[in-house]
């Protein structure tokens, strides 16, 4: 009987240790809850089966050669451990769900505020996009903007000063035509033509929304989406 019971305990333990995946706030909570519920149901069924077999064996054991009580005790300890593991998994799932809900509520307060983020794309909102970059010296800086299809939208220069610089794009392309709002890839280079030097920059835009991504909260600046880890600062 012990082999059957141990297999049942192992099956319940395996069900309790299945990791939960996250693809969104609601999906994470529901998936984790489903795993915990199924594991508890399976554990309950296995435990009832264990008790049934235990009672049957006690009733039909040979009086002259009773079953070792240490074996029963060991099996009971195994089931108790599994039960605690399932309960811990269920409580942890609830804690994760509550934490994610709290993050969403707190992050919602960022909507409408200015954000400085790290991104390889500029956010064009209401025909305006802004970047902030640092130049090691006063120099001519080249700025290149392309769309998602790789077409050059803008290719110009900036007379940058040493230190922090702010540049605002009016949303117009090389032909002077205003392009649609959205996210456009941008590159900023200093140095010389023979030895160009890429300059790091931050993209400034207005927070328009937040979503729960597979790796955490995602900040939206119009058509530009960046993870919360890319946020440099939040203004008013």
pLDDT digits (tens, 9 = 90+) for 18-49: 444 444 444 444 554 555 556 556 665 666 77
Angle (nearest 5°) at CA 185 between 228 and 187: 100
What does CATH list as the number for 114-234? 2.60.40.4070
Q: Where are the domains of the chain?
A: 2-109, 114-234
Which residue has tokens 């007379």?
159
Q: How many CB atoms lie within 10 A of CB 217?
A: 19
Q: Whole-angstrom Cα distance, residue 225 to residue 210?
A: 9
Q: Whole-angstrom Cα distance, residue 188 to residue 129?
A: 14
What pLDDT does residue 78 have? Answer: 72
Q: What percent of the chain has pLDDT over 70?
A: 64
pLDDT digits (tens, 9 = 90+) for 79-134: 677 667 766 776 776 676 656 555 555 656 788 899 999 999 999 999 999 999 99
Which residue has tokens 């059957």?
4
Residues in CB range of 135: below 8 A, 6 or more apart: 141, 160, 161, 162, 163, 165, 190, 199
What pLDDT does residue 49 have? Answer: 72
Residue 74 banded pLDDT, cuts 50, 70, 90: confident
pLDDT digits (tens, 9 = 90+) for 178-224: 999 999 999 999 988 788 899 999 999 999 988 877 777 888 999 99
- Pair of tokens at residue 81: 């451990």
Average pLDDT, the chain: 77
């Amino acid at each position: 009987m012990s082999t059957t019971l141990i297999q049942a305990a192992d099956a319940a333990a395996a069900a309790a240790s299945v990791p939960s995946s996250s693809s969104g706030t609601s999906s994470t909570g529901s998936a984790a809850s489903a795993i915990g519920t199924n594991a508890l149901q399976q554990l309950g069924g296995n435990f009832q089966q264990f008790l049934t077999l235990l009672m049957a064996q006690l009733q039909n054991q040979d009086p002259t050669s009773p079953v070792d009580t240490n074996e029963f005790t060991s099996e009971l300890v195994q089931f108790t451990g599994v039960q605690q593991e399932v309960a811990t998994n269920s409580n942890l799932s609830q804690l994760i769900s509550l934490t994610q809900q709290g993050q969403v509520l707190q992050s919602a307060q960022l909507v409408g505020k200015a954000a400085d983020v790290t991104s390889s794309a500029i956010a064009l909102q209401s025909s305006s996009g802004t970047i902030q970059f640092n130049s090691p010296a006063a120099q001519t800086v080249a700025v290149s903007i392309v769309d998602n299809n790789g077409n050059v939208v803008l290719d110009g220069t900036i007379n940058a000063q040493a230190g922090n610089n702010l540049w605002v794009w009016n949303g117009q392309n090389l032909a002077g035509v205003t392009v649609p709002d959205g996210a456009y890839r941008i590159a900023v280079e200093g140095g010389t033509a023979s030895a160009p030097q890429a300059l790091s920059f931050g993209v400034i835009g207005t927070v328009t929304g937040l979503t729960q991504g597979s790796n955490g909260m995602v900040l939206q600046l119009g058509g530009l989406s960046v993870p919360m880890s890319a946020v440099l600062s939040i203004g008013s």
